[in-house]
Each structure stands twice: as structure tokens, then as C-alpha cells.
Structure 1
Amino acid sequence: MKKIISGIFAVAVLFSSCSRDTLETEDDLSTDLKVESTKDLLTIPQINAIIDRYLQTTGDFNWSDVSDQVLWSATVHGDHILTIGYGASGESFRTENNRRLETVKGDIIFDVMTSEGVSLKEALLEDDPILNVIDLEVKNIETISALRGRSNIRYLEPNGYSFYAPTNSNIQNRSSSGCDKSGEILNTNDYRTIAPNSLISWTYDQHNIEQAWSHSTGADVTVGLIDTGISPNQPFLGSNFNDGHSSGRTIQKYGTFIDSSWWWSSTTDGPNDKCGHGTSMASTIASPRNNNFMPVGVAYNCNLVSYRATEDVLLNDYHERKGVKNALVALGNRSDVKIISMSIGYPWSIGNVKDGIRYAYSRGKLIFAAGGTSLDFTNWYPVIFPASMSETIAVTGITDNGNYQQCDTCHDGSEIEFTIVMQRDSNNNRTGTTLGFYNGDTDYVGGSSVATATTAGIAALVWAKYPNWSRSQVLNRLRQSSEFYPNRDGNKGYGNINALEAVQ
């Protein structure tokens, strides 16, 4: 029986209906929801109903499209946290002191202090030193209206609002989305044993990964992983990272996630995985090739830098969004990191995470993101954020039936660049093999999550073979080595990558 760590977009049941009727105006919605005044505080179900309508009819949602009342109501329900991206359009970050931006930021903070009648200490919650982002405490709808009248604000978002769930659904967002720490015994048909007694997943054969190892094993390339961390109970992603044919490399683990329900908490949770998802992604990218009859990673000689930036795969919490933003900046600042793998996401874009991605991209990073994973009857939903951004490379998973059949839980769309075979069309729909959460355990992992981590590993093989190449050269080689190149499919991009061709 397959076990899919339902990587991204694991809201479980995203929408109670997949109908796409004409989008109603907010006046219509207000009537439907019995809103009596534009200054009434909307309830969480009322806000979610409005979000649902946008998602079902346009495939996207943006807080800039809603009224002051909706934005204010979500801000109030989200601990009064309003995240503000300031500056001109596209001005996501700064690399040196900028008096104009400092003045803009100061004016915004002063206006909020005046409107709210509070001190600087009470108003300012977070001031990012690199990204043009601040978090302020806002309680009054008049403050929202005044801020929306400014020309030097890129976005206003209630980043503390973590209550979205489909209207009329009894299934809520869970902290365990995409999480599973239980291992599974591998079926002998799902791997081969290679020297010196490592297990190679059947999925690797679909992309000639073993053959590529005669040209490159990922040595001297560093991959950054932003996920739920790495299990302290898995020695092959810890003290035994250098083992067997894997040698002379490093693994580093950091944490930017704050595990607290209080927005004002500032103590990070450390690097250790408490979910299982990050451990599976790390294994897919870089687990060692050794003599212990354990699954081997795609780039088994690469370096790995892991950030526990989120509790699970769904970025619906204030601290998760801030944690991912901070991890992106940290990896962007590292000259040794070439590749970033992100098998996490959300149905719509998150401003401060978007700014973090743009910063990391400006530093030359090749960023892979998962196209989306959910239940099969929500597969109509398009590519999710951040894979929907032009600065990221979107990846999705398909089955092995030879016709590019979408995997049971995978999303696709026009943003997809590459596909990875990660699910059998028969034989119980088994997926790829990885290390388990605990020492001695093995596991299965699927969805667009593992497809993304696999692609990041292949990119590491290419960059190790051609260490002087730029990001664009590596990306072009991946495209040229894919099945559809030079053409591009409308939903599957350039298709399956041939890792052997990519490193020759």
C-alpha cells in the first residue's frame, strides 16, 4: 500500500465544491453573509467564504482584491498583525542603505502610530534588515483605509490569519499536514541493490540517475533545503552523513521556525524535524551511498544545508511564513549554496515569502518548488505558491504509464518546468523509496514534494560536473536533457529529465 507524504497544499479537502461560477462582487457576498455595515467585524467563516469564491472562480486569491472591511477583519482575527511590503513595485529588498526607503518606512510607521494612538514599541512588531517588509499591530479599520491610500506600499497582508479552511468543510488545517514519522518495509520490486549495498529507488531508473553517477555524484555542490528540518534520529543524515561511497562532504542544520502560538515569541525551535517531511526530502537529495542496505540519495556526495523553517508543509501560520522568509535570506547570503529545494507552499502568494525568494534569486540561487499536492478531486487547482513565481522552477510528479499521467495527488499547469516519475501506475501505486525518520527505518514518499527534491538532486549532479556554470546554464542543460525539448507542454513543461544526458 502506498504512503504519500502529501507534500504540499495538504489542506486535506481544499474546496467543498469545484464549481467555477462567475465571481460575485463583495456587495453580493455581504448580502449573502448578512453583513450589516462595512465596519462590522466579519467572522472567520465569512472571510473564508470570500476566499473560497475567489479561489474557485479565478484559481487565485490576493488580499489586495478584497475590501478594507475584509482585510481589517482578517487582521483582527490574526492577532492584529499586518505585514506591509513597502517601496516601489518590485522593490523587494535592499543591499545597501537607502535613505528614501528608510523615509518611506518611517512615514508608514508614524502614520500607524498616529492612527492607532500607540507608541513605536507598541506598533512595530518586526522590521526586516534586508527585505522591505515590516509587521505592525493594527486594530482600527481606519488605519487600513489610510494605508491603502499610500502609493509606496506594495502589499498589505494579515499574516497572522491562519484560519483558512474550505467553507462547509469539517476538515480544518492541521499542524500535521504532510507529516508522517512511521516507516514502512520496502517491497523488493521497488528497489535494486547497488555497490556497496545501497538501495536505489525504482524511480531513479526512469531518469537514468544511476548511469549519471559515472559522470557526477554531486561533489562540492551545496544544496539548501527549506522544510520541516531533519530527524535527529536518522544518523545517515547526521553523524554518518559521510559513509561508504559518500565522503568529504558536510551537512549543516539550522532552525528559523518559532514553535509558539504567540506572535511575540522570538525563540526558534531548532533544526530537528518533528514532522518527517523534511527528513524524506533530505534523504531524496543526499542520503549516503553505503553498505547498510539503505536508500541512496540522488546527489549522494553533495553538501546539504537544512533549515527547519516550518512546522509542516502548509504555510498558514505567521511563524512559518516568517521562518521561510528568514531561511531564504540566510541561504541567499551563502556563496556556497547553489540550489534551494522547497517542497512547501500555500494556495495563494505570501508577500514576505515572495520577497525572500526574490532576494535569494538575486543572489544567483536556482530555486525548485513543488507544483502542489492534494487529494485527487482537487487536482483541478493550478500550480500553488511559490512554484507559481517566475523566480522558481516548478516541478510535479507523474506515473510510470508512459503517457505523462498526473500522479494521484499532483497539480500541474502552465508554470511547470519539469516532471518526475514518482508513482507506479499499477502495483499498488507505490512511490519512491527514502530513509525513514528513525535509524534503520525505510519509507515511501510521493507527490510533487519528492519530484522537487529529486530535481534539485539532478541539478546538483549537473553543477558538480560543470562547477563554473551559471544558474541559467544549469537550467538550460536540464531543459535540453528533457523529453519535450525544445518544445514545452502546456501542463507538463519540458517533461522528464534524462539525468545521464544532463551530465554528459
Structure 2
Amino acid sequence: MKKASIKILVFAALVLVGCTKEENLEISQPDSEILNKEPLTPQQVNAQIDQALADKGSFDWKEATSHTLWSAVYHGDNMVSVGFGITANDYDRSRSPENGPIQHELLQIIAQSEGKPANEILLSSDATLNTMDVLVVKQETIIAIRNYQFMRYVEPGNYKYFAYADGNRQRGAESTSSSGGSGCGFEASTLNAADYTTITPNAKAAWTLYQHNVPSAWTYSTGQGITIGIVDTGTSPSQTLLGSNFNDGLSTGRSIQKFGTYVDSIWPWVTTTDGPNDQCGHGTSMASAAAAPRNDNGLPVGVAYNANLITYRAASNVVLDGASEQNGVKNAFTALANNSNVKIISMSMGHVFSVGKISDAIKYAYSKGKLIFCAGGTSTSFTTFVGVIFPASMAETVAVTGIKEGAGFIKCDDCHSGSKIDFTVVMQRASGKTVPVVSYYDNQSDYVGGSSVATATTAGIGALVWAKYPSWTRDQVLARMRQSANFYPNKNPEFGYGNINALLAVQ
């Protein structure tokens, strides 16, 4: 009763504050900080981020000085992302009646500090989450926001860390065999006969599926009735097996839906997306690995070949560096969270440090019971610099990485590993070949590797388990997946529970 009374008093106070005239607000003064009017260079900002990653394996803008934060804002079009709320986990507007007065008061503080009306400050306000994007020029404003009592986080909204990375040390959250650091590529490859087995009605089952007993698991489950959401770069309009022929061969009675949340514009006030179609190739590969049809065209089949798919073009490539990508991912996760048909969400993209608005969206999806798989990280020269990337590093996600074929556990050439990994997928052969998938263009195939394909594959296995036990909760499905894996009931310090045995998981 006491806690309830306190909350009512807080809300009443906020309502009163929300009605206060702007000129009467008291803005917190930077008493404890010396203002340095000269911003750091992007290279200096990156150096501080790199040092934190090297020392602790993680970086959070909360740890940065206000001068460093302001410098990153300065180099990121003066855009600031703000998360607010009564508590650290007060991210859901529907459960937070205080959010309106809090946002109003915060906008007044910013407007007064900047000397501009609130409508020139506010860029966007999320309808689902307690977060907004604002324009901030002054360092004093950054400090005032940070000193606000109901502040959860304040971060640069459009600082592009990778744009200023060392030229000889480009870092990618993910990469594929055909792309490099961006994860993009439209190439096709003739598949080596040793890398697949032809199965009825004329589909190719990738070698990696046999490493996890997926073909044997199909006797018990094919993913029927389960919907997987793929947050990535979209799906190719030119690949009919992920379009008009999604029900082909032994894949029947299911649907694929395609949406876009990525806004391809340098202007922060633009809100029109560029549609659902993949313009990178990465998202098409992930959709294929998870749920391509068991077709009669001689092309690779996905793990859950009778599952439904909902794909989102949420970013231009796999590195979530900047406002367009981060807002796109946030909006995709909240939309999938609010879709009651979606059971599983898979994302093979990420960043080397946390992003508050994406974290909020993932927590929101998790609160809705979604089983969320994220890639542990893949890069060509950055693997030893950071362990498991964001958001796979979050407690609400299941982190997956790739390993090599053969005895023992050896991570793939470009894969990240670490204590936050939950599962592994065998996805690299001694020959160097990776996983066959349906390619961007019709009647073509390709190879894809890294923790990207490992994640999409694991999402497909999750769909097999959930389809076999449709009344189960997320936690029950995840528990069964763990119980079927190599190291259960223990966790390996680098590879989590190891490889899932799909057959055991669905029996």
C-alpha cells in the first residue's frame, strides 16, 4: 500500500510539473563538470570506446563523460536518443501512465536550455516505448538531461562509430562469404556435391543440417503453425521460393509476409521507408536458412520448411551504425512483439556496444513471450577485440555462434565466442565451404557463413521444437533445446551449451 501511495504522489507531481510554464523550470547546472567547448574528434571518441572494449569487453554511453557524449552528438548531426521512465526498466508506455508528463517536462528542459520551442527540438517520439529522439546543440543541455531524475539513458542518436574506424581495421558485426564487412552480396555459387544431400521432392539438404540431426527431426516436426520473424535487410523480390513459391514441393499451408522499417535518408525528419525488399542479400540468406521451402527445384531447403515467415527490412546492412538502422531495428522488434502470431524472432545483425532504443525494443518483445535469437558476431579482423556483440550480449536474447566441422569445438575463422554464447552451429567445413542457401536471384544458390547463418539455423530448430509442442512457453522450448545440446547441464565458457541435437529436442 505504501509503494502504491508513493507512485500516486509521484504521478501527481509529474502532472503538475507538466503544466508548469517553460520559463519556470529549473535546469540542472553542470556544477560537477568543467565544460570544454571544443569537441573531441571522432577518432578520439572512438579511442575511448575501443579502450573500454579492450579493458572490459563492453562499452555503454552511461560510462562516458558528458564532454565525450556531447562530442559524439556533435559528430552525429546533433541527434540525441533519450530513454526516460520512473525505473531503469520502465520502457513500456502502456504500463507507464507517468510517461506523458515525464516526456513533457523533459522536452521543456531541453527547449529552455537550447533556447528553442519544443516542436523544433522533438524529432520523433516512440508510440510504444518510453524513448524519443531530439536535437541538441549545447553541451549544457546534455548535462541537464543526464541530471534529470527520470532519465534512463541519453545516447548519441546518429553517431557512426564504424565510419571513423581505422582504415586497416574495419569492423563488421557480421560478414558472409560473398560480402566482407557489410554482410552484403548478390553472388551465386555452384554447390559442391559433397556439401548437400538430395532429398524428396528434389531439394538439397545442406551438410550442416546432418550435423544437428535436422533431417531426422523432420519425421516429428517441420515447423508447421509456427511464425518466425526475421529482422534483417529484407527479402529478395527476385527469389520466388521466398515469395510466390513459398509453398513449393513439400512446403504447404504457410505464409510469408514482408515489411520495411528502414528509412534510407540522411535527414532525421524523414519517416518514409524504402520498402520490404532486400537490397543487400543478407536477409534473403537468413530467411532461406531458417525456412526456405522443401522445393522440387533442386535448391537448398530451410530448417523449418513448413513454418511461416515475417521478414523486415530494418537496415541497409548488418552493422547497426546510425539512426536509420537503429530506428529500423527498434521498430521491427516492436511490431513483431505486438504480433501475437509470432513466436520466434531471429536477428543476425548487431553492434559492438549497446544501443538503448534497441535494448528497449528487445525487452518489450521478450515481455511478450518471444524467443529471440541473435548472432554472437562475425568479423574478419575484429574477433579478438570484442567478444559477443550487442544485442546477443543481452540477457533477453539467445546468443549463437558458428564452429568448424570435426572433433572438438573450434570457432569458425571469423566467428566471435565468449561466456554469453548459448548455442553453436557447425557451419564451416575443412574445405572452407560454409552453408548452402537459396540465393538472391531465382533458381540460384550460394554459400553463407558466420554466426549469421548459425543464428538463423538455430531459430529454425526452435520452430521445430515449438511446432512439436505448440502449448509450450518460450522457456519450455528453450529448456528442451538446452537439454539436447552437447554440454548440458553445464555451459562451456566459450560455446555455451554447444550444438543442439534437433532429433532429441523434438522427441
TM-score calculated relative to the size of structure 2: 0.90
Superposed displacement of residue 376, structure 1: 5.3
Q: Which residue pairs with 1:446 in the alignment? A: 449
CA offsets, 1:430-458, max 9 Å, x none? 10110010011100011000000000000
Q: Is the 1:48–1:165 Cα contact (8 Å) retained in structure 2?
A: no
Q: Which residue pairs with 2:5 in the alignment? A: none
CA offsets, 1:52-85, max 9 Å, x none? 2222222111111111111111111111111000
Local SS of the residue matching 2:336: helix
Map of 1:193-204 to 2, 5 A cutoff?
A: 193-204=198-209
Q: Which amino acid aligns with 2:304?
A: A
Local SS of the residue matching 1:53: helix
The percent identity for this pair of structures is: 52
Tell me the distance in 2 between the aligned counterparts of 1:195 and 1:115.
68
Stretches of structure 2 that go unaligned for 5 or more consecutive residues are 1-33, 173-179
Tell me the distance in 1 between the aligned counterparts of 2:385 and 2:120.
44
Decide which of 258, 264, 280 is 1:253's aligned counterpart: 258
Decide which of 456, 464, 479 is 2:459's aligned counterpart: 456
Tell me the distance in 1 between the aligned counterparts of 2:260 and 2:277.
8
Tell me the distance in 2 between the aligned counterparts of 1:173 and 1:207.
30
Tell me the distance in 1 between the aligned counterparts of 2:96 and 2:447.
49
Superposed displacement of residue 211, structure 1: 0.2
Tell me the distance in 2 between the aligned counterparts of 1:133 and 1:139.
19
Map of 1:163-174 to 2, 5 A cutoff?
A: 163-164=161-162, 168-170=166-168
Does residue 1:67 correspond to 2:65, yes or no? yes
Q: Which residue pairs with 1:110 in the alignment? A: 108
Q: Which residue pairs with 1:18 in the alignment? A: none
Q: Which amino acid aligns with 1:434?
A: V
Local SS of the residue matching 2:267: coil
Q: Is the 2:54–2:385 Cα contact (8 Å) retained in structure 1?
A: no
Tell me the distance in 2 between the aligned counterparts of 1:247 and 1:418.
30
Decide which of 170, 194, 197 is 1:192's aligned counterpart: 197
Q: Which residue pairs with 1:326 in the alignment? A: 331
Q: Is the 2:232–2:313 Cα contact (8 Å) retained in structure 1?
A: yes
Map of 1:297-316 to 2, 5 A cutoff?
A: 297-316=302-321
Decide which of 453, 467, 484 is 2:487's aligned counterpart: 484
Q: Is the 2:93–2:127 Cα contact (8 Å) retained in structure 1?
A: no
Does residue 1:497 correspond to 2:495, yes or no? no
Local SS of the residue matching 1:416: coil
CA offsets, 1:298-324, max 9 Å, x none? 000000000100110000020110010
Tell me the distance in 1 between the aligned counterparts of 2:303 and 2:336.
21
Map of 1:235-384 to 2, 5 A cutoff?
A: 235-375=240-380, 378-384=383-389
Q: Which residue pairs with 1:87 in the alignment? A: 85
Decide which of 145, 153, 156 is 1:155's aligned counterpart: 153
Superposed displacement of residue 282, structure 1: 0.1
Local SS of the residue matching 1:122: helix
Change (3 A) 1:251 1:474: same
- Residues matched between the structures, number: 467
Superposed displacement of residue 143, structure 1: 0.5
Q: Which residue pairs with 2:3 in the alignment? A: none
Q: Which amino acid aligns with 2:477?
A: V
Tell me the distance in 2 between the aligned counterparts of 1:170 and 1:206.
36
Stretches of structure 1 that go unaligned for 5 or more consecutive residues are 1-35
Tell me the distance in 2 between the aligned counterparts of 1:390 and 1:414.
12
Superposed displacement of residue 487, structure 1: 1.4
Local SS of the residue matching 1:136: strand
Change (3 A) 1:37 1:172: farther
More displaced, 196-205 or 481-490? 481-490
Q: Is the 1:379–1:409 Cα contact (8 Å) retained in structure 2?
A: no
Change (3 A) 1:394 1:173: closer
Does residue 1:183 correspond to 2:188, yes or no? yes
CA offsets, 1:383-430, max 9 Å, x none? 000000000000010011220111101111111111100001x22x11
More displaced, 343-352 or 398-407? 398-407
Decide which of 414, 420, 432 is 2:419's aligned counterpart: 414
Q: Which residue pairs with 1:472 in the alignment? A: 475
Superposed displacement of residue 165, structure 1: 5.0
CA offsets, 1:243-275, max 9 Å, x none? 110000000000000011221111101000000
Kindly report the root-mean-square deviation, in angstroms, between the aligned alpha carbons of the 2 structures.
1.6
Local SS of the residue matching 1:275: coil
Q: Which residue pairs with 2:238 in the alignment? A: 233
Tell me the distance in 1 between the aligned counterparts of 2:76 and 2:472.
45
